[in-house]
Amino acid sequence: MTDLVSEDSDVVPTKASNSDVSPWWKTGPIYQIFPRSFCDTNGDGVGDLRGIIDKLDYLNDGTDRSLRVKGIWLSPIYPSPGRDSGYDVADHETIDPKFGSMDDFDALVAECRRRGIHVVMDMVLNHTSDLHRWFLESRSDRNDPRRDWYIWREPRRRGRPPNNWRSFFGGPAWTFDEDTQQYFLHTFLPQQPDLNWQNPEVRSACLGIFRFWLERGVSGFRLDVFNAYFKHPELLDNPRQLGTTPWTRQRQLYNKDRPELHDFLIELRSLLDEYPETMAVGETFDAQAELAASYCKQLHMAFDFDFLQQPWKPRSFQRTIKKWDGLLASQGSWPCYVLSNHDHPRHAGRYGQGVSPSEADARAKIAAAMLLTLRGTPFIYSGEEIGLRDVPIPSHEEWDVAFKYGSRDPSRTPMQWNSDVNAGFSSGHPWLRVAPDYHTRNVAIQEGDPRSILSFYRRLVTLRNDTPALLFGDWQPLQDDPDDTLIYLREHQGAYAVVALNFSNTRRRVTLDKRLPVRYWNARLSTRRPDVGWAVRLDQTLELGPYEASVFTSVDEMSDVNSRERIAIG
C-alpha cells in the first residue's frame, strides 16, 4: 500500500472547495461485504475478518488504483445458527468464531482507519435468533422477567393464531409454543422471533448494543428492517388487499411503520450524534419512496428499493430518480443508491438478460456510470465491480431455504479474485460454489485491463472524487421523456457536469429539452469518445454511440481547457 490516508484527510473531498467539508458517508462509495463470501484465510471455506483485512488495499490503498471506498458495510458477523445467513443473531456483542475474534475485529477497524475506510455494522434488531439468550429465557416460563421482551399472545378461539399477520418468508407470522401454551410473533422465520419494541427495557438494551460497537470504533450502522420494530400495541388484523402472495394480499398496516418508531429514531440519532460523523442507513422494508424519505429526517440515509427494481429503461430510472431526489432535496436530506445486494439477483445478470455477455458487460458499465454520478452515496455490492452474475445453485447445495419465493444463494457466491483454485477465495472447499466463469472473470484479470468493468469503476470513482459537481451538485434531467438515453446535469456552485448514457446498442442522436448552461466542456471520461481529456463544444443535440457512457465537466475559461489529466477511454 502506498500513501496512507490520514483520518482527517478524507473528510474533505479531493479538490472540493472549502465549503464542501462533508462527512465521510457523503463523499464516497460504501462497499457491502458479505463476509462469508469475501476471502477465506484459514481454508475452512468461509470468508473471515482476516480475509477482509488482506483485501483492504484493494478497497482503498490511498491511490486511484483502488476503489477508494469510504466505508465497508459488513453483513452480520455475530454468532448465529445461520438459519438466515447470519440475519438470525444469537449474540449481538461478539464475533462468530467462524469469522474470527474480537481481536481480529479490532485489527480490522484499525487497518480500515489507516486507509480512511469506515466500518459499518449490520444491526439486526427487529428480531433475534431463537437461540439468543433473551429468547431462551423468554420462552422458558410465562413469568420469566424476559417474557415480555418478545411478543407472546394467547391463541384465539379454536387455537387459532392471535391475528391474521403473515411472515414475509411465507406462512403465518405466529408459532405456537407447546411448553408455555402461547404463540410468539415472527415477521420472518419461526427461528427469528420479533423483539417487543414497546417494552422500554428492550429499547434500552438495543441502544446499549449500538453504544457497544461505537465504543469499538465503528462509524456507522445499516439497520435491518428497522421500520418493522414497532407493532400496533393491540396487534390488530391487517386489512386485506389484492396481491400475488399471502404477504402482498395484506396491507401491512399494523405490523410496521408505526408512529412510535419516529420517537425511537430521534433517541437513536442523539446517541449517534455523541460520536462524530456516525452514520445510520435504514433498510426500509417493503416501503415506497415517500415512506423511505420520511425516515431520512432522523436517519442519515435510507434505501429506496424502487431504483433497484426498475427495468432496463432510461424512462423508468429517470422517473424513479426524479421522485427520490426530489423528495429528499425538498426536505434537505441526502439520497443513496444501490443496484445490487445480498437479497436480490445481481444487476449485471438482471440487465443482461437476453443479450450477449459482452453487451451485458457494456450494460454493467452504463449502470455503474449512473450509480456513481447521481447525487447521493453509491452502495457497491461486492463483486458488482467485476460484473459478477448470479450463479445457479443446485437444490442439494442450497443454504438459503428461508425465503420461500426463491433462494438468494445465487447472488451470494464467493468473490472472484484470480484464476487460482476457487478463484483465490479459499484453499479449502468453499461454503457455496464459485461461479464457473472465474478463470475469465476475476479481479486480477480486470486490474490488468484498462477496458474492464473494474477499471471503469475505478475511473468513475476518481472522477467523482475530483469533481465537486458530481459529489455534491444538484441533479437535473436534461430530457423530459427519455427513450433510450439518460442524460442529466449536476450543478454545484456554478460548476457543472453532464452525464450522457446510451442504454441501447445502437447510435442515438438526442435533442435535449433543457438548455445546457455553458457551451464548452471537458470530456472527462467515456466508453467511446476519442477526445477524452480535451475540450469539446456541446450543442443541444448530442450523438451517443452504442452503450456510450460519457461524462463532461464545464470549463469556465478556455485557459482551463486541456489542463486536466487525461482519463483513458473505458
| Catalytic machinery residues | 224, 274
Q: Does 91 help bind Ca ion (rule: CB under 5 A)? A: no
Task: Give me 306's grid cell.
Answer: 424502487
Q: Which does 42 bind (CB under 5 to 8 A by kind): Ca ion, ligand NOJ, none?
A: Ca ion
Q: Is 395 helix (H, G, I), strand (E, B) or coil?
A: helix
CB of 109 to Ca ion, least distance (A): 19
Nearer Cβ to ligand NOJ (285/457): 285
CB of 85 to ligand NOJ, least distance (A): 7
Buried b (16+ CB within 10 A) or exposed e, 158-183: eeebbbbbbbbbeebbbbeeeebebb
CB of 89 to ligand NOJ, least distance (A): 9
Nearer Cβ to ligand NOJ (122/466): 122
Q: Which does 384 bind (CB under 5 to 8 A by kind): Ca ion, ligand NOJ, none?
A: none
Question: What's the half-sphere exposure (Cβ side, CA atoms, 13 Å) at 154?
Answer: 3
Shortest-Cβ-distance residue relative to ligand NOJ: 87
Q: Which does 130 bind (CB under 5 to 8 A by kind): ligand NOJ, Ca ion, none?
A: none
Q: How far is 136 from 117, CA to CA, in rounded Å? A: 37
Q: Which does 247 bind (CB under 5 to 8 A by kind): Ca ion, ligand NOJ, none?
A: none
Buried b (16+ CB within 10 A) or exposed e, 62-71: bebebbbbbb
Q: How far is 89 from 368, CA to CA, in rounded Å? A: 33
CB of 409 to ligand NOJ, least distance (A): 12
Footprint of Ca ion on 4-43 (CB under 5 A): 40, 42
Quickly list H helices, 313-356.
314-330, 347-351
Q: Choose among 121, 133, 138, 107: nearest CA to 41.
A: 107
DSSP secondary structure string for all residues of 264-310: HHHHHHHHHTTSTT-EEEE--TT--HHHHHHHTTTSSEE--TTTTT-
Nearer Cβ to ligand NOJ (267/343): 343
Tally of helices (H runs) and strands (E runs) in the chain: 14, 19
**How many chain residues are in contact with Ca ion, going by CB under 5 A?**
5
Q: How far is 399 from 376, CA to CA, in rounded Å? A: 34
- Which residues would be at the binding site for ligand NOJ (CB under 6 A)? 84, 87, 124, 188, 224-225, 283, 342-343
Question: Using CB atoms within 10 A of its CB, is residue 516 exposed (0-12), middle (13-18) or buried (19+)?
Answer: middle
CB of 380 to Ca ion, least distance (A): 23
Specify the DSSP element, H or E, that contains 36: none
Nearer Cβ to ligand NOJ (431/472): 431
Q: Which does 225 bind (CB under 5 to 8 A by kind): ligand NOJ, Ca ion, none?
A: ligand NOJ
End-to-end CA distance of the chain: 25
CB 512 within 8 A of CB 541: yes
Nearer Cβ to Ca ion (77/469): 77
CB of 8 to ligand NOJ, least distance (A): 33
Q: How far is 342 from 326, CA to CA, in rounded Å? A: 28
Q: Which does 44 bind (CB under 5 to 8 A by kind): ligand NOJ, Ca ion, none?
A: Ca ion
* Cβ-proximal residues to 430 (8 Å cutoff; 6+ apart), any chain: 40, 45, 414, 422
Footprint of Ca ion on 36-75 (CB under 5 A): 40, 42, 44, 46, 48
CB of 95 to Ca ion, least distance (A): 12
Q: Which does 137 bind (CB under 5 to 8 A by kind): Ca ion, ligand NOJ, none?
A: none
Nearer Cβ to ligand NOJ (350/375): 350
Nearer Cβ to Ca ion (62/430): 430
CB 295 within 8 A of CB 304: no
Query: Which residues are near Ca ion by CB under 5 A?
Result: 40, 42, 44, 46, 48
